[in-house]
């Protein structure tokens, strides 16, 4: 990849690009927050979360001081909750070590919890004009097609090589604009799903994959392993107008998140009634709910749901009102399908 990329790419970006809220600021905290939210989440989905999060935590120090329930609730529905936990940890480090100001140094950014090469490069270049590349999936796809590279872009050595290629041509006078232009090109022209819009590409004249008509097979990725399927029986316990929830363990999937209680195996209604009785649940009424499925990175939950009305509360659950559940407790979106039963309650 040559420096001939830079001029037409920046001219294309300057002529018109998406107006996104994090592109209207040089505040490193806001840029950092947007980059973490955008990991594995669509731009359209991120915008309302981004604005809501900043309303509650407008500064790094506000995030550092926020209790766990607050920042988890702000993140509810975005998934991959380790991202916001690392945001909080990093905010505390920034306050304790850097006086509440994100360091204007790539190596220092890279040491913060949850920040890797890409995020450090994005914050360093966009907020501080440091000439470090920000190479995400969009940029890897653009580089692979430009150079006709048929190596798997999810291979660590290939990523390192492509990052070096971008680093070699990043302009020192406009590194942030260049990185955003590369990301923009991958997001709206050299798109991930469907045929690339080569006719709209400012780099079409340089693109080997376009010239060799190999855009249908580039980029190459290593085949993914099949996800593990876990069958769960999820309960929506009710007692006296309250809903019973519990916290997940401190480690593992969805650590310390609130959840609806569940058994880690499928149970038919009669077997479930027996199991609940054995566990001391005094069931007055039980209704089947529509089954649901939730996909994590490596696991699929296939869930059978039951509405369970009790004559007295179970001691090992936390009992809350439906309105408190909506406003104060962060439940992963995996349980959203079962909560529809109580959506209209106040």
| Cβ neighbours for 119, distance < 8 A, ≥ 6 positions apart | 32, 35, 36, 109, 134
Q: Where are the beta strands (DSSP E) in the chain?
A: 228-239, 242-247, 258-259, 262-263, 283-295, 299-310, 318-320
Q: Which residues of 246-278 are buried (b: 16+ CB within 10 A; e: fewer)?
A: eeeeeeebbebbbbbbbbeeebeeeebbeebee
| Cβ neighbours for 279, distance < 8 A, ≥ 6 positions apart | 314
Beta-carbon-side half-sphere exposure of residue 210 (alpha carbons within 13 Å): 18
CA distances 303 to 300, 322, 324, 334, 342, Å, are 9, 22, 24, 9, 18
Active-site residue (options: 7, 35, 51, 212): 35
CB–CB of 246/318 below 8 Å? yes
Please tell me the distance from the alpha carbon of residue 124 to that of residue 132, in angstroms, as a whole number. 7
The residue among 20, 114, 56, 62 whose CA lies nearest residue 330 is 56
Residue with tokens 């509360």: 313
Please tell me the distance from the alpha carbon of residue 47 to that of residue 217, in angstroms, as a whole number. 32
Residue with tokens 């232009």: 181
Longest dimension (CA), the chain: 73
**Could you confirm whether 345 is annotated as catalytic?**
no
Concatenated DSSP letters of 136-204: -HHHHHHHHHHHT--SBTTSHHHHHHHHHHHHHH--SSSHHHHHHHHHHHHHHTS-SSS---GGG-TTG
CB–CB of 293/301 below 8 Å? yes
Question: Annotated active-site positions, please?
Answer: 35
């Amino acid at each position: 990849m040559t420096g001939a990329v830079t001029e037409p790419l920046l001219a294309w970006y300057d002529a018109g690009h998406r107006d996104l809220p994090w592109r209207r600021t040089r505040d490193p905290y806001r840029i950092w927050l947007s980059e973490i939210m955008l990991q594995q989440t669509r731009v359209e989905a991120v915008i309302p979360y981004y604005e809501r999060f900043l309303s509650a935590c407008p500064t790094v120090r506000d995030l550092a001081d926020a209790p766990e329930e607050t920042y988890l609730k702000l993140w509810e529905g975005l998934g991959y909750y380790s991202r916001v936990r690392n945001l909080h940890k990093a905010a505390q480090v920034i306050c304790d070590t850097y006086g509440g100001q994100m360091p204007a140094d790539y190596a220092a950014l890279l040491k913060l919890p949850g920040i890797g090469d890409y995020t450090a490069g994005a914050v360093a270049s966009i907020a501080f004009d440091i000439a470090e590349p920000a190479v995400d999936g969009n940029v890897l796809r653009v580089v692979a097609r430009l150079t006709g590279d048929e190596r798997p872009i999810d291979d660590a050595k290939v990523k390192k090589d492509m990052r070096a290629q971008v680093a070699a041509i990043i302009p020192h006078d406009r590194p942030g604009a260049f990185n955003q232009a590369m990301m923009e090109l991958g997001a709206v022209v050299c798109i991930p799903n469907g045929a690339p819009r080569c006719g709209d590409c400012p780099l079409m004249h340089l693109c080997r994959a376009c010239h060799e008509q190999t855009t249908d097979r580039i980029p190459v990725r290593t085949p993914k392993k099949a996800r593990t399927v876990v069958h769960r029986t999820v309960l929506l316990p009710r007692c006296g107008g309250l809903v019973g929830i519990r916290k997940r363990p401190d480690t593992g999937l969805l650590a310390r998140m609130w959840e609806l209680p569940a058994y880690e195996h499928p149970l038919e209604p009669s077997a479930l009634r027996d199991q609940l009785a054995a566990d001391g649940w005094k069931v007055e009424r039980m209704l089947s709910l529509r089954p649901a499925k939730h996909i994590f990175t490596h696991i699929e939950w296939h869930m059978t749901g039951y509405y369970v009305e009790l004559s007295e509360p179970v001691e090992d659950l936390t009992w809350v009102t439906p309105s408190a559940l909506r406003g104060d407790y962060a439940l992963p979106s995996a349980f959203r399908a079962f909560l529809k039963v109580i959506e209209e309650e106040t």
